[in-house]
Each structure stands twice: as C-alpha cells, then as structure tokens.
C-alpha cells in the first residue's frame, strides 16, 4: 500500500474507534439517567436528518428509517461530492498559479 492509502486507512480506523467510544460513553451515561438506547439513537438521528425528535420515525418503521438514510446518502453524493471536487480543483489551480484564485 502507498503511504496515502495507509494514512487514509489509519484515519478511518481512528475515526471508527473514536465514534465507538463516544457512543458507548453516551449510552452508559444516559442509561444511568434512565434514558434508553432507543431514545439516544432517535435523538442522534434527529440531529443527522435535521428534523425535530417527534418527526424521527420509531425504529419499528425500518422502511422509513432506510429511506431517510438513503436520502442523506443521496445528498452527500449529489451535493457534497461535487462541491468537494470543485474546491479541490480550485485549490489545485491556485497552487499551480492558474485559474481565478491566483
């Protein structure tokens, strides 16, 4: 593997570890306060989707939850990816001394 791929894999593993520790801490802390894991995950989903907590579907509604996740992924793919590519292109042009930013 090249050094860039190794670095990317390392960053992804560190992110996975940090996320796992974060959610574990949150679940333990809230369990001590009497809040169920289902309520915690619904709260996290409400922030991710951008809806109030009452609008987040109950976990029994798996099809609705799957459609929300697909919607978020579609937004990332069709909006986030093109924006990141445009930014990368403009930064590359600025570094090379050509383009509108130079």
| Beta carbons of 81 and 88 less than 8 angstroms apart | no
> At 56, is the pLDDT very low, low, confident or very high (cuts 50, 70, 90)?
low
Q: Which pLDDT score, from 0 to 100, does residue 12 have?
A: 83
Greater confidence, 37 or 74?
A: 37
Q: Which pLDDT score, from 0 to 100, does residue 15 have?
A: 82
Q: Which pLDDT score, from 0 to 100, does residue 98 have?
A: 65
Closest CA to 26 of 13, 16, 36, 11: 36
The reported pTM is: 0.46
> At 88, is the pLDDT very low, low, confident or very high (cuts 50, 70, 90)?
confident
State yes or no: pLDDT of 101 exceeds 50: no
Q: Any idea which residue has 């992924």 for tokens?
A: 73
């Amino acid at each position: 593997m090249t050094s860039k791929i190794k670095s990317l894999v390392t960053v992804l593993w560190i992110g996975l570890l940090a996320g796992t520790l974060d959610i574990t801490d949150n679940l333990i802390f809230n369990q001590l306060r009497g809040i169920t894991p289902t309520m915690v995950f619904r709260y996290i989903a409400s922030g991710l989707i951008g809806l109030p907590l009452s609008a987040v579907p109950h976990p029994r509604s798996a099809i609705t939850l799957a459609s929300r996740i697909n919607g978020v992924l579609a937004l990332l793919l069709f909006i986030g990816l093109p924006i990141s590519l445009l930014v990368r292109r403009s930064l590359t042009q600025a570094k090379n001394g050509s383009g509108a930013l130079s």
